[in-house]
Amino acid sequence: MLRWSMKLGSLLGVPVYIHWTFLLLVGWFMAGPLMSGSPDAINAALRTGGFVLAIFGCVVLHEMGHALAARRYGIATRDITLLPIGGIARLERMPEQPAQELVVALAGPAVNVVIAAIIIPAVLATEGLAAFTAGADHGGAAGAEGAVALHRTHFFAALGSVNVFLVVFNMIPALPMDGGRVLRAILAMALPPPNNRAKATAAAAAVGQVIAIGFVMWGLFTGHIFLMLIGAFVFLGAGAEAQAEQFKSALEGLTVRSAMLTRFRTLRASHTLRHAADELLAGSQQDFPVLTDDAHGDDDAAALVGVLMRTDLVRAMASGQTDAPVSTIMQTGCATVGENEDLRSALERARASAAPEHAHAGCPVIAVVRPPPGPDGRVRAGAQIVGLITPDNLTELVMLRGTVGGTGGRARVGSFPAASHAR
């Protein structure tokens, strides 16, 4: 779920959210008819708002197509969010197999094909080509005025034409759009291993960024701000996809043990925030495992109960909570993994469990325990914490392997439990 979003409900087990900026879009479209001075202004505004909502209903179904196709391969969808520029379905992960990614990418546009295939013949059969053409013109008109004249038949004709547009637009081969994912899947199948997916991602991302620049330039010359926004979204998204794939490639074949921090200090749940601040200032460690108080000072016998984040500590100290116990602000239930697990698999599992309904949705630190967690992810009785995985040490690992930030720049990594973790 993106910030400033509110939940509309769930569809087939997938939470659906709407971002507040989407409401601004609906209001902007409805404002045109209301300010037109027409005697039918209110009805026209309601028809316009209904038409915009119908379009985004089709967008939700489009995203559900992706979600259901991913579910077929055992990949859950964390949520779907409606934005002014479209919808976003957040999958736990993208399919690694090119054929599976191809199916998931095509599933969304296929839904719009089905919707158009139902609506367009029905309009043609009942009203003929003239009604469909008028409805298509209204649906494609710029601004809110294009929907003022919509009546019931034209409403569905315009909706049919919009679904055709959604298919064509989404199949533009610009990563991270559906067409870009299709291009990546095809290239990954065509290129020889190893690293065929990474090479395919780099090529698809480059194509996507060129197209994105074209969107922005077109928007500048024509004055279409949404086209510029889409171009910016595609450009940044393509770059993020390429970096994420490089990051994953850098972790190939590594175990958790090779990435974890082994030199760290711990805190007790009863320690005061003042004590925690002293520990923070005494060294370079920024995130502290918090252990139980009932082990009589023996860390090996103490159980992990949470992680104290630097950002939470600084915020609490600034508000004067110096004598409060660490337990009042620590992150509880942070993801745990075993030291001999495959690093990529462990990170994906931790990221997948960082959905909003989990206690550690905001915890960017992964605790490494011995013995490893059980099949249900729960820490076994008597388990000891033997390491930590943080965004910073993963970034440093990738930099040392020479795959990200090869020129010496520090690439920020946010591909597990909390991409928003601030340092």
pLDDT at 145 over 80: no
d(CA 190, CA 98): 10
Which comes out higher in pLDDT, residue 247 or 340?
A: 340
Q: Give pLDDT, residue 183.
A: 96
* Cα 111 to chain centroid, rounded: 21
d(CA 9, CA 11): 7
pLDDT at 15 over 70: yes
| CATH number corresponding to 256-400 | 3.10.580.10
What is the pLDDT averaged over residues 253-271? Answer: 90
Beta bridge partners of 370: 384
Q: How many residues does the chain have?
A: 423
d(CA 104, CA 98): 10
pLDDT classification of 302: cutoffs 50, 70, 90 = low
Q: Give pLDDT, residue 372.
A: 83
pLDDT at 44 over 90: no
Q: Give pLDDT, residue 36.
A: 66
Question: Minimum mean pLDDT among 229-243, 245-259, 373-387: which range?
Answer: 373-387
pLDDT classification of 146: cutoffs 50, 70, 90 = very low
Q: Give pLDDT, residue 238.
A: 94
Which comes out higher in pLDDT, residue 86 or 324?
A: 324
Q: Scanning the structure block, which residue is given the tokens 């820490």?
A: 379
Cα separation values, 119 from 14, 52, 139, 158, 189, Å: 26, 17, 14, 9, 35
* pLDDT tens track for 346-402: 887 777 665 444 444 457 788 898 888 877 667 777 778 888 898 888 888 888 876
Q: Give pLDDT, residue 415.
A: 36
Per the prediction, the chain carries an average pLDDT of: 81
d(CA 147, CA 44): 7
- Of the segments 48-52, 112-116, 159-163, 409-413, which one has the largest average pLDDT value? 112-116
Q: Give pLDDT, residue 299.
A: 55
- If residue 8 lies in a helix (H) or strand (E), which one and from where to where? strand 5-11
The sheet with strand 288-291 has its strands ordered as 267-268, 288-291, 304-308
In contact, 325 and 269? CB cutoff 8 Å: yes
- Of the segments 33-42, 290-299, 392-401, which one has the largest average pLDDT value? 392-401
d(CA 40, CA 308): 60
Three-state DSSP class for residue 7? strand
Cis peptide leading into 194, omega within 30 of 0? yes
What is the pLDDT averaged over residues 91-113? Answer: 93
Three-state DSSP class for residue 213? helix
pLDDT at 414 over 60: no
What is the pLDDT averaged over residues 282-310? Answer: 77
Q: What is the pTM of this model?
A: 0.74
pLDDT at 192 over 70: yes
pLDDT at 422 over 50: no
pLDDT classification of 283: cutoffs 50, 70, 90 = confident
Which comes out higher in pLDDT, residue 2 or 159?
A: 159
d(CA 164, CA 114): 10
What is the pLDDT averaged over residues 125-138? Answer: 64
Which residues make up the CATH 3.10.580.10 domain(s) of the chain? 256-400
- Of the segments 177-186, 238-247, 259-268, 291-300, which one has the largest average pLDDT value? 177-186
Three-state DSSP class for residue 308? strand
pLDDT classification of 188: cutoffs 50, 70, 90 = very high
